[in-house]
Amino acid sequence: MNSKIHLINLMLFVVFSSCYSQENAKKKSNFWDNVRYGGSLSLDFSNNATSIIVAPSAIYQFNEKISAGTGINFGYTRFSRNDVNQYNYGASLIGLYNPFRALQLSAELEHTFVNSSATIAEEKITNNFSFPALYLGAGYRIGNIAIGARYDVLYNENRNIYASAISPFARVYF
């Protein structure tokens, strides 16, 4: 009985050693081979406002369907009422999921800082604030390019620089 246990243990050791050595024999990928650079451009136009946001980012491609990364954003918003100009900057975390080749789903957690100025009755007023955003989006993807729309589930009209919770985007990664 004792010799059977030793034989089974020896066979398991040989099998697991073989599996381990085959794993090491596989080509190991370099971390930087899976990093993609790019970002997005967001344009938001309405009757009362115009927003332009440029957001470069880098993502790590875990596999063909899932990637995640981080980015920074810079932007300018102008509201026609009271001659309001806003400059913003921030950082974000992004997750992308491609359930099939032509569809890209995204989730972005972003925190934005805003420097705002307005002219009211010939007096210049400044206001600096920040706000979080959680965007859920979907886009049509062709190769490295995705075009779609995203929705800010944390949108607060009184504490935001965007005209609405929905904004279109164009995203590219190389």
Comparing C-alpha atoms, which of 65, 66, 60, 56 is closest to residue 36? 60
CB neighbours (10 Å) of residue 30? Answer: 8
Residue-level pLDDT at 36: 96
Residue-level pLDDT at 77: 85
CB neighbours (10 Å) of residue 139? Answer: 23
Burial class of residue 165 in the structure, from the number of CB atoms within 10 Å of its CB (0-12 exposed, 13-18 middle, 19+ buried): middle
Residue-level pLDDT at 6: 53
Is 12 inside a domain boundary?
no
pLDDT in tens, the chain (174 residues): 555 555 455 554 555 555 554 444 456 668 999 999 999 887 878 888 888 889 999 999 999 999 999 999 999 988 777 688 889 999 999 999 999 999 999 999 999 999 989 888 888 899 899 999 999 999 999 999 999 999 999 999 888 777 789 988 899 999
User: What letter does residue 63 receive in the DSSP assignment?
Assistant: S
Is 15 inside a domain boundary?
no
3 state SS of 102: coil
CB neighbours (10 Å) of residue 105? Answer: 17
Residue-level pLDDT at 21: 46
Comparing C-alpha atoms, which of 124, 126, 103, 104 is closest to residue 115? 126
CB neighbours (10 Å) of residue 90? Answer: 20
Query: What is the residue range of 129's domain?
Result: 29-173
| CATH number of the domain bearing residue 122 | 2.40.160.20
* Spatial separation of the C-alpha atoms in residues 56 and 72, rounded to whole Å: 6
| Domain count along the chain | 1
Tokens of 16: 């697991």
Is 8 inside a domain boundary?
no
Q: Quick: pLDDT tens for 95-142.
A: 999 999 999 999 999 999 999 898 888 888 998 999 999 999 999 999
Mean pLDDT of the chain: 85
Residue-level pLDDT at 14: 52
pTM above 0.85, yes or no: no
Is 96 inside a domain boundary?
yes
* Spatial separation of the C-alpha atoms in residues 104 and 66, rounded to whole Å: 10
The answer to whether the CB of 117 falls within 8 A of the CB of 132 is: no
* Spatial separation of the C-alpha atoms in residues 151 and 76, rounded to whole Å: 19
Is 66 inside a domain boundary?
yes
